Amino acid sequence: MAAISVYGADTAPPKGRRWELLAELWQDKAATAGLVAVLVVVLASIFAPLVAPHDPAAQDIIARMDPPFWMEGGSTTHLLGTDHLGRDILSRVIYGGRASLLIAAAVVLVAGGFGTMLGLLAGYRGGRTDSVIMRIVDAQVALPGLLLILLVISAVGPGITTLIIVLAIANWMIYARVVRSVVLGVREMEYIEAAEILGCKPGRIMFLHILPNLISPLMTLAILEFTNIILAEAALSFLGLGVQPPATSWGLDVASGKNYIFVAWWVVAFPGLAIAITVLSISLFANWLRVTTDPQEREKRFARGQAGALRRAAEAKRSAA
């Protein structure tokens, strides 16, 4: 491969770049579906009062554990059925997304902000600051993560604020590591040295010159962490240590339905499915985004596609013969 050089290969023209990207996204059906699903989930959560057919907390003793509409005994009033208190599952799933997405966003912001600051500091200052910060990062990685979270929540008492703080404390290190490594790489560049010689203040150099280089890796990391936090929040809520009733969350709904799994699977299935679809969609789209923003990965993806097409053509030819 290295032996051939492609001279005069144009890079994509700036004009209509956005449309070209959209066209490229359309080529990847899975990523497109992911993006659409993410948009649907986010919009449904934001406009939950408008979208949800029922009040998620409204109980209906007569319509307890009604199955989804396509099953016998189900009705279109409760499209996805009702839980053990007769609450509408579809509405609960729509409202449940609010808690999950909000908590995940808050944790990513807090942990990401804190981790980025410390990573910038460690990478830019170097020396003693760097070694102290990185020691803390290393030490925290060696701690028994979830058990400590359990310990803290049991000591402080569960709740949404506790959850956000605890998850942020448990997850900021990765941002610090990534940011530090990027900063260390960028620091050596000539233009940073030039800025230093020109007498730019450290703060200015950090925010104006170094931060832009962090946007792409931080975005990718934040999206990945977002899905991790959704799963972590769901797990803690499932264990009864996260979101507390009467508030709703997908994890909590699965927990409250688990005792009825023998008679009403839908109470457990749909909130869990909502988590799975959300996380999967985000991952699919993020994956595509990561590859697309990396020219080398992009070329590899193209080559793989080409090789696959050629192979399929050859196989088709062989089976036809």
Partner 1 sequence: MTKFLLHRLWQGFIVVIVVTTVVFVITRLVGNPVDMALPLSATDAQRAEFARQTGLDRPIFEQFVTFVGEAVSLQFGDSLWQRRPAMAIFWEVLPNTLILLLAGIGGAIVASLFLGIFAAVRPGGLLDRAVTTVALVGLSLPQFWVGLMLIMFFAVIMKVLPTSGMGGPAYLVMPALTLALPSLARLTMLVRSSMIDELNKQYVKTARVKGMSQSSILFRHALRNILVPFLTLCGWELTYGLAGFTVVVESVFAWPGLGYTAMQAIQRNDPFLLQAIVICISFIIVIFNIGLDVLFKLIDPRIKIG
Partner 2 sequence: MIGSTPPLLELRNVCVNFDTMAGTAQGLRGVSLTIDRGETLGLVGESGSGKSVTAQAIMGLIEAPGRIASGDILWDGRSILGPKGKALAQSIRGKKLSMVFQNPMTSLNPLMTIGAQIQEVLTRHLGVSRRQARERAIELIDMVGIGMPEQRLDQLPHEFSGGMRQRVMIAIAIACEPELLVADEPTTALDVTVQAQILDLLEEIQRRMNLAVMLITHDLGVVAETCHRVAVMYGGQIMEDAPVQDIFNKPCHPYTRGLIRATPRVDQVNERLWSIEGMPPNLLAPPPGCPFMPRCPSALALCETRPPSIQTGAASIAACWNTQTTYHSEPSHVRTP
Closest CA to 272 of 289, 253, 248: 253
Whether 82 and 91 have beta carbons less than 8 Å apart is answered as no
Between 102 and 169, name the residue whose CB sits nearer to partner 1. 169
Nearer to partner 1, 33 or 51 (CB): 33
**53 close to 88: Cβ distance less than 8 angstroms:** yes
Query: Is omega for the bond preceding 217 within 30 degrees of 0, making it cis?
Result: no
Q: Which stretch binds partner 2 (CB under 8 A): 92-100, 103-111, 248-256, 306-314?
A: 306-314
Nearest residue (CB) to partner 1, 23 versus 139: 139
Of residues 3-32, which lie at the interface with partner 2 (CB under 8 A)? 3-10
Smallest distance, Å, CB 315 to partner 2? 12
Question: Which residues does residue 88 pair with via DSSP β-bridges, in sequence order?
Answer: 82
Residue 286 buriedness (CB in 10 A; 0-12 / 13-18 / 19+)? buried
Alpha-carbon distances of 41 from 47, 91, 100, 105, 134, rounded to whole Å = 10, 13, 11, 14, 37
CA–CA dist 89, 66 (Å, integer): 10
Binding part of the chain for partner 1, among 120-128, 179-187, 212-220, 227-235 by CB under 8 A, reads 227-235
Distances from the Cα of 77 to the Cαs of 89, 175, 257, in angstroms?
Answer: 11, 46, 20
Kindly tell me which residue out of 90, 107, 178, 268 binds partner 1, with binding defined by CB under 8 A: 268
Q: Which of 131, 161, 259, 306 binds partner 2 (CB under 8 A)?
A: 306
Q: Measured between alpha carbons, how far is 101 from 42 in angstroms, rounded to an integer?
A: 8
316 binds partner 2 (CB under 8 A): no
Spatial contact of 100 and 275, defined as CB atoms under 8 Å apart: yes
Q: Which does 7 bind (CB under 5 to 8 A by kind): partner 1, partner 2, none?
A: partner 2
For partner 1, the binding residue among 154, 204, 208, 212 (CB under 8 A) is 154
Residues that bind partner 1 (CB under 8 A): 139, 142-156, 227, 231, 234-235, 238-241, 251, 254-255, 258, 261-262, 265, 268-269, 272-273, 275-276, 279-280, 283-284, 287, 304-305, 307-308, 311
Residues that bind partner 2 (CB under 8 A): 1-10, 298-299, 302-304, 306-307, 310
